[in-house]
Amino acid sequence: MKMKNYVFVYKTSIDTRLTFQEIKRRPNRKFTAILNITIDLEDEDAVLRVESSEQNEEHIRALLYTYGYEISLLGVFGD
């Protein structure tokens, strides 16, 4: 039986690659269900894409709020 994976897409206020790298390191220690995190800093919405084996959108939101960044969910996709 295949495990279900989720992709969460967020609009964020992350503005630098360095900030993204710091944020990217944090969830991997705390949220082992996160498989991959990417960001498009060239997009005006700084779109953050999180692949996870669990529905953990609130954890991601809380993490970015901790760093002082805005975040809003654009969509959730499951396979």
Q: Is residue 1 a part of any domain in this protein? A: no
> What is the rounded distance in angstroms from the CA atom of residue 44 to the CA atom of residue 71?
13
Q: What is the pLDDT of residue 56?
A: 80
Quote the number of domains for the chain.
Answer: 1
- How far does the chain reach from its first CA to its final CA, in angstroms? 13
Q: Is residue 63 a part of any domain in this protein? A: yes
If 0-12 CB within 10 Å is exposed, 13-18 middle and 19+ buried, where does residue 2 land? exposed
Domain CATH code at residue 33 = 3.30.70.100
Q: What is the pLDDT of residue 26?
A: 72
CA atoms within 13 A on the CB side of 41: 8
Which domain range does residue 26 map to?
A: 6-78
pLDDT tens, the chain, 79 aa long: 567 899 999 999 999 999 898 888 776 556 678 889 999 999 999 999 999 988 888 888 888 888 899 999 999 998 7
Q: Is residue 17 a part of any domain in this protein? A: yes
Q: Is residue 72 a part of any domain in this protein? A: yes
